[in-house]
Chain A
């Protein structure tokens, strides 16, 4: 292979004129982090709500949750991002569509909403599973004490359901972070997009993607570690022995 290695490339000034190649990659990493945190927040909030709806005894509630979950988890994320970014502005009334198209940082908001909603379907299924895993008597016990169904979810069922599904939620968090890379297709300058830009300017493809790889690894290992700490913190003495 006739490849000219140059690990010093990261310190060289980029043709964008406002810093080094290394700083280009760091700006991508920062963008990935921002989108990940916001998308995960959206996924957790929306997913928990839909998961609660899915756990209700009524068949209609379950169907309602299907309306949310099935399209979001059965259409590829890439297609969903295109739908939000390119198709949605054409479908809604023209003034709103124009507003969307002219929105500054449109790829950023689109990535947050697109990845967040996609992941919310998966979180919803996890939360519903966690709720279903609890003994049926827990709801009855909450109600019997005079708590409303809402209070019973808030103070009794959800705290346990989240404990049950913490390990799979860790996977979903990592999936969220990795999925943000798809947003390069709608022009978001996240880590993968910046690595490609470095490659195109400098032809140092291995260095650029080695750095991106390490960046993703670092974020995801930190996320896993954080979730482990939460798991340890949430562990209940004596629970699950019998």
Chain B
């Protein structure tokens, strides 16, 4: 079982005593695995992924990341989060820092890397996402697609054991979706462990190992990709798929 990087065990979360957003969610993500989480809006998929790096608290159950249990007493949350990369729907680059400084910041302040070390790492990652020419620019000067690729590079700069993507292409203009997906596909092919909340079923077909379908806070389907997309799969998942693919 040592190859399990992210494990969720019967996670329950309430926003108030009457509204339960997550119901008994259990899920394992193995090393090198790409798990796509999909489902209708309000189904709890973004909440679920934010629980993984403790950005959202949950009331019962347990999540372990690389063997570290989130609810254990005295757990070092910043240290744990530093080992998990996260990419947000709205990029969330730091607007007052240049692209390069965005990548440097946590390397310097969290990992304690030297300035030269961080710089070398940042520059290599910017080359990798094809943005080396924009290193000195500010986020406000980049397109949405470029900003999201910077955000991916920023997360990778921490040498994470896994990457979480929370609807990484939902806020993008259509013509910029593919450049971000391409970067994610490349990452998946290099063997990065990934948990991806997305509606991009093309991405799921291409690189996912498993697809998880959520509805009303529950994990309804957790299946191998081939099985998920097969015509005789789960009824609710089929209805959902026909809605987002059927046009």
Contact = CB atoms under 8 A, between A and B. Distances in A.
Interface of A: 135, 137-138, 140-148, 151, 155-156, 159-160, 163, 236-242
Contact of B82 (A146, A236, A239): A146
Contact of A240 (B85, B86, B89, B140): B140
Interface of B: 50, 53, 55, 77-79, 81-86, 88-90, 92-96, 105-106, 109-111, 137-142, 154-155, 158
Nearest to A149: B78
Contacts of B154: 145
Contacts of B78: 143, 146-148
A143 B84 CA distance: 11
A163 B55 contact: no
Contacts of B95: 160, 236, 239
A159 B96 contact: yes
In the complex, the 8 A-B pairs of residues with the closest C-beta atoms, listed nearest first:
A146-B82, A238-B140, A141-B92, A238-B141, A145-B106, A239-B140, A144-B86, A146-B110
B109 A135 contact: no
B96 A160 contact: yes
A151 B94 contact: no
Contacts of A240: 140
B141 A237 contact: yes
Contact of A135 (B84, B92, B96): B92
Contacts of B88: 137, 140-141, 144
B138 A147 contact: no
Contacts of B106: 145-147
Given A137-B92, A138-B94, A239 B138 contact: yes
Contact of B94 (A141, A148, A237): A141
B105 A135 contact: no
A145 B86 CA distance: 8
B90 A137 contact: yes
Contact of A143 (B55, B89, B93, B139): B55
Nearest to A148: B78
Nearest to A238: B140
A141 B85 CA distance: 10
Contacts of B89: 137
Contact of B109 (A138, A151, A236): A151
Nearest to B151: A141
Contacts of A142: 94
Given A146-B110, A147-B109, A156 B140 contact: no
